[in-house]
Amino acid sequence: MIRSSSRAKKLVTRPLDDDRERLRKEEEKIRQLEEKIRLQEEAARRKLENLPRELEERKRRQQELHRLRLVSAPTRADGLSKLRDKRHPLRQKTVSSTGKRLAEQRAARVQFILLCVVFGIILLLLWRSLPS
């Protein structure tokens, strides 16, 4: 009977050891996850601290590029062409490079065709009226 009780103790203690080992491994995983989260949090905090500086730098570069475009673009006083910068207040947006809008070009084309047809009819009537 002594042997059976010692076996019972081994069976009872063995699951406890397995539970302890499993809990120790889970605790180690949790520690690793906590460390990983802490590192991510530090990286996010550093990025958040640098964000205003990066935004200011980006804004400064855009302003510098805007100034360079204005300096290199011809002005109205030059008389060469309209301003190329779309944000400039003096830029005229209604006039295209050809000088006429698409609707005006279409109307002029129709008018030209009608005048050609009328001229052709007049020439045909004059040719028939000639004595042969």
62 and 3 together in one domain: yes
What's the rounded Cα separation, in Å, for the pair 52 and 2? 76
Mean pLDDT value across residues 68-72: 75
Residue 1, pLDDT > 50, answer no
What's residue 16's pLDDT? Answer: 84
Q: What is the pTM of this model?
A: 0.36
What's the rounded Cα separation, in Å, for the pair 86 and 111? 34
Q: What DSSP state is assigned to residue 92? A: -
106 and 67 together in one domain: no
Is residue 4 one of the residues assigned to a domain?
Answer: yes
Is residue 84 one of the residues assigned to a domain?
Answer: no
Mean pLDDT value across residues 47-66: 92
11 and 70 together in one domain: yes
Residue 73, pLDDT > 70, answer no
Number of domains in the chain: 2
What's the rounded Cα separation, in Å, for the pair 113 and 8? 112
118 within 8 A of 111, measured Cβ to Cβ: no
